[in-house]
Amino acid sequence: MIGALAAKKTVSQVEAIRRATEKSVRARNLYTEQTVADLTAMLVDAEDEVRRAILRYKSLGSLPDNKLAALEGLKKLQADIREATSRLHRDQTLLFRKTAKASFRQGIYRGIGEFAAAQLPFYRDLTPEGIDKLATRVFTIVDTDALDFMTNYNLVLAGDVHRELADGIKRAVMNGIATGKGIEDIARDLGRAVKDPESFRHAGSKVFTKAQYRMEVIARTEVLRAHNQGRIKFHDQVGVRKLEWMTMEDERVCPICGPLDGKVYDTGRFPQQPAHPNCRCTNVVAWPLEICGGELGAKVAAEPDACILPPQAIENQAKAKSKENAKLKAAFESGKVADLNTLTVKQLQTLSKQNGVSIARTKSDFIKLLDQVEPGFDHSDLTGAALKVKLKEHRIGLLRTKDDLVKLLAKKQRALKKAQIVSERLKKGEGLHVLTMDELQEVARTKGVSIYMIRQDVIDLLDKLEPEVDHSGLKGKSLIEAKQRYHIATTKNKQQLIKAIEKTIMSDAFEKFNNVAVKLIRS
């Protein structure tokens, strides 16, 4: 009789978790649609800017009887288009960063909610506020390296789309002008971003439509990836050992995912999900759950229906992690080699990841080490298999040693302190022009401004030196030759650095102002 009741209770819990998982998927899909809508709105704004710029070009001297005015108008048009697409890239990059983190955290929240919905021991008394608090705790202790990778991967994909969009607009405009098309025709050739899903299906494949389609695919796929990863990380953290692949079980299930439905995998080895772009699948806890062992098992033994860490255990883990982080932070902020040496290699690796210091050796590191063990030989040309053979021969590891990490972290801290001093000088009203070149380069690094002359910087400079020539297509050898012709340096000079930093500062200030304005409007 007791066994039958326990079995009935387990069945009801399985059904409750499955229903909660389906609810989680609906919430994920709603968030996806909101993300897609936000991306589309940004694209529509950029499209309107580009369209207005093209239509303005007509009044800026595009008529055949005024070639000089036409040239000036074209330069202004190109600058306006570049500004519009750059702003779109920046805004959508910020959105992708935000949605990846929010989706990951939402996945954790929903995983906890599924246990609460199933009335599992320790979780059934959690309120929505308690679930939210616990989700925050879990987020602080799970490995977020996967989240960082996903975010960077999303930004690479989005960057490709934006480059294609900018190039597509430029081609459409220049080809239209070269073939004598009217301005209105050129604007129509760009296509439109479409908000209505039904209209979008018949919108064709023009410049803006293609960008919208690719951006939607990225958003739908990567929001799902982050959400599912959050749930998997939560399940793994609390002790769920197996997960089941779950499709939407409708007529849209594809041949790739259909055979996977219902298959059970170890949580730590669950296959990549999404399995393909626009995948809709998720995962659900597989039963039965095993009982935890050790001291925790004794506490859970009275509730044998589940083997998961109780919320209190997660709280304790979060407190321990917080204490550990405080220790690492103190060692790093002191900047003292002695303090950093008190940390273990694993702690130093964690600290390195937190502060942008690679734990892996670079090719330059390998060459220096080989030069030390084989003095007199030139190792600079070693690559691929030949380099691997040499590293194996001299037992040179791929990861940096404890001493390497300590030195790099101490150097990083010194650079940050130097940057803080510079920042204080700027706050006191001292302009960028009073800073030394080293100080300016440090400011540039902290602001994410490249100290090198990137391709666009070179093209902008060439446009000023040769205003009658179109340099937009320069790359590779032709770009190098143009740089050599005008003796353009690899790194920015002082004035170029100041201008680039000021532009970034203005952009940051505008973004902060815009965020405040949005909050005021919504309130």
Count how many residues are written for the chain: 523
- Work out the burial of residue 107: count CB atoms within 10 Å of its CB; fewer than 13 is exposed, 13-18 middle, 19 or more buried: buried
Q: Answer whether 272's CB lies under 8 Å from 250's CB.
A: no
- Tens-place pLDDT, residues 280-293: 999 999 877 654 54
> Does residue 104 have a pLDDT over 50?
yes
Report the range out of 50-64, 214-228, 290-304 with the highest average pLDDT: 214-228
Residues 6 or more apart in contact with residue 30 via CB below 8 angstroms:
none
> Does residue 169 have a pLDDT over 60?
yes
Gap between the Cα atoms of 473 and 330, Å rounded: 50
3-state class (DSSP) for residue 360: strand
Gap between the Cα atoms of 103 and 92, Å rounded: 16
The lowest-confidence range among 132-141, 193-202, 264-273 is: 193-202
Which letter does DSSP use for residue 400 in this model?
P
Q: How high is the pLDDT of residue 518? A: 40
Gap between the Cα atoms of 242 and 283, Å rounded: 10
Q: How high is the pLDDT of residue 168? A: 92
Dihedral over alpha carbons 221, 204, 89, 156 (to 10 degrees): 40
- Tens-place pLDDT, residues 261-320: 999 999 989 999 999 999 999 999 987 765 454 444 444 444 444 467 888 889 999 999
Q: Answer whether 82's CB lies under 8 Å from 50's CB.
A: no
Whether residue 128 is preceded by a cis peptide bond, meaning omega within 30 degrees of 0, is: no
**Stated pTM of the model:** 0.69
Residue found under tokens 């694993």: 346
pLDDT-derived band of residue 152, with 50, 70 and 90 as boundaries? confident
Residue found under tokens 């401004």: 449
Mean local confidence (pLDDT), 487-504: 85
- Cα 460 to chain centroid distance, Å, stands at 28
Q: How high is the pLDDT of residue 440? A: 81
3-state class (DSSP) for residue 264: strand
Helices 311-334 and 128-141: crossing angle, nearest 10°? 40
Provide the token pair at 138: 């879990």
In SS3 terms, 43-63 reads as: HHHHHHHHHHHHHHHHHHCCC
Which letter does DSSP use for residue 429 in this model?
T
Gap between the Cα atoms of 156 and 168, Å rounded: 18
pLDDT-derived band of residue 521, with 50, 70 and 90 as boundaries? very low
Gap between the Cα atoms of 26 and 413, Å rounded: 45
